[in-house]
């Protein structure tokens, strides 16, 4: 996507320097820093510390991680062990294991390490292109849903609520939840986006607001608790969120707080859509509540809030310094609260039969 007139992605392979480059998302929107990944440890650190985040991007970073691991592994056993470590960097987004396994299985077919390295790099780049294209198609398939609401409202503003950042920073290009928004905006439909700030790391306030603003899309940042009130007062026409892992039966793991938005949407008869590429389905799981691993992160992310002050990015402590905090990073929204999925193959309802109709072979 374009930032100040320049095309940029959240990750890319730089052919000149032969390194993987990423945008360090921890510092956005106040500082724009590009960092190099040179080893598997760099990739693991970037995923764990959330320099990169968002399910599809974590998957692509894992895929490039296999390339970085291959560069520094003397044996296949070592390479396989490194890939295991990369997959364990974050537990919830299924795209990570998918990306690593996809590249590793191709790499293991090659004889020499020179071939393995080249294959890993090329497959990782292909996965990045695949995810970009998936998101473009999600935009195409989501557009009619927004068009329909706009028609019903006689062209009046369509208000869309989103949670966290399921934008291009999380997904290479376009985003998942944001792709239909860009498609609608580019068609001249009047839209406005309510952006949940998304505590504790404020991916909505920092990243989604920044992305939408750069594209000229009207948006308003709200506290995480405001959505229910807005829905009760007719100020939300639809909700679109992303997901980190969705079961074959349609249960959705996404950023903590998503479930509460789904409940409020249901209570107010507001469509609640989840936009995702097929790489975010976990075809092995049915019961999301029971089976999806929920990441628990450092409680300091809850206790401290990051912001821009006197020319630099700083952290400040909010609760009493002795108070413990808990940091559950994701929750699961049961399929019964989801109106539909917007995928690269079209829109379907949140049940196994409909999902399998779009993805009969589970991929």
| Contacting positions for ligand MRU (CB under 6 A) | 53-56, 93, 164, 166, 170-171, 176, 203, 242-244, 254-255, 329
Q: Are 313 and 27 in contact (CB under 8 A)?
A: yes
Known catalytic membership, residue 244: yes
Token pair for 202: 């404020």
Distance CA 92, CA 96 (A): 9
Q: Which C-beta is closer to ligand MRU: that of 76 or that of 301?
A: 301
CB of 43 to ligand MRU, least distance (A): 15
For β-strands 11-14 and 19-23, DSSP reports them as: antiparallel
- For residue 203, the minimal CB distance to ligand MRU (Å) is 5
Measured from the CB atom, the residue of 107 and 338 that comes closer to ligand MRU is 338
Cβ distance 173 to 140 under 8 Å? no
Active-site residue, from 244, 251, 282, 331: 244
Nearer to ligand MRU, 56 or 159 (CB): 56
Phi/psi of residue 19, nearest 5 degrees: -120, 165
Our CB check for ligand MRU shows the closer of 223 and 232 to be: 223
Closer to ligand MRU by CB, 169 or 348: give it. 169
* Least spacing, CB of residue 154 vs ligand MRU, in Å: 32
Nearer to ligand MRU, 56 or 288 (CB): 56
**Element holding 253 (H helix, E strand):** strand 252-255
**Residue with smaller CB distance to ligand MRU, 104 or 171:** 171
Q: Where are the alpha helices (DSSP H) in the chain?
A: 40-48, 55-71, 76-87, 95-107, 113-152, 168-171, 179-186, 203, 209-215, 227-232, 258-267, 288-291, 300-303, 352-358
Instruction: Count Cβ neighbours within 10 Å for each residue of 45-67 and write b for 16 or more, e otherwise.
Output: ebbeebbbbbbbbbbbbbbbbbb
Whether the Cβ atoms of residue 177 and residue 254 lie closer than 8 Å to each other: no
Q: Which tokens in the block code for residue 309?
A: 């002050």
- Alpha-carbon distance 89 to 120, whole Å? 19
User: Is residue 140 classed exposed, middle or buried when 0-12, 13-18 and 19+ CB atoms within 10 A define those classes?
Assistant: middle
CB 327 within 8 A of CB 301: yes
State the CB neighbour count (10 A cutoff) for residue 314.
Answer: 12
Residues tagged active-site? 244
């Amino acid at each position: 996507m374009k930032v100040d007139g320049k095309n940029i992605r959240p990750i890319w392979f730089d052919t000149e320097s032969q390194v993987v480059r990423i945008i360090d998302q921890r510092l956005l929107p106040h500082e724009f820093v590009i960092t190099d990944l040179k080893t598997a440890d760099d990739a693991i650190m970037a995923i764990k510390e959330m320099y990169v985040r968002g399910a599809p991007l974590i998957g692509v970073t894992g895929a490039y991680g296999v390339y970085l691991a291959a560069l520094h592994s003397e044996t296949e056993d070592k390479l396989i062990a490194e890939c295991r470590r990369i997959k364990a960097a974050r537990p919830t987004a299924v795209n990570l294991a998918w990306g690593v396994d996809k590249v590793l299985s191709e790499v293991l077919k090659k004889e020499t390490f020179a071939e393995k390295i080249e294959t890993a790099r090329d497959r990782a780049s292909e996965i990045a292109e695949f995810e970009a294209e998936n998101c473009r198609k999600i935009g195409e398939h989501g557009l009619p849903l927004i068009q329909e609401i706009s028609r019903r409202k006689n062209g009046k503003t369509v208000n869309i609520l989103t949670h966290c950042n399921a934008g291009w920073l999380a997904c290479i290009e376009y985003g998942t939840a944001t792709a239909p928004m860009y498609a609608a905006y580019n068609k001249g439909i009047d839209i406005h986006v309510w952006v949940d700030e998304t505590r504790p790391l404020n991916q909505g306030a920092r990243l989604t607001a920044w992305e939408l603003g750069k594209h000229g899309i009207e948006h308003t940042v709200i506290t995480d608790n405001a959505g229910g009130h807005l829905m009760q007062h007719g100020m939300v026409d639809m909700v679109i969120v992303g997901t980190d892992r969705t079961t074959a039966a349609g249960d959705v793991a996404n950023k903590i707080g998503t479930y509460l938005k789904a409940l409020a949407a249901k209570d107010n008869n507001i469509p609640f859509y989840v936009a995702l590429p097929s790489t975010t389905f976990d075809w092995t799981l049915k019961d999301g509540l029971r089976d999806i691993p929920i990441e628990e992160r450092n409680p300091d992310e809850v206790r401290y809030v990051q912001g821009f002050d006197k020319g630099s990015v700083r952290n400040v402590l909010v609760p009493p310094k002795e108070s413990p905090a808990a940091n559950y990073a994701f929750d699961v929204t049961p399929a019964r609260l989801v109106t539909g999925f917007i995928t690269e193959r079209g829109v379907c309802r949140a049940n196994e039969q409909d999902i399998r109709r779009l993805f009969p072979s589970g991929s």
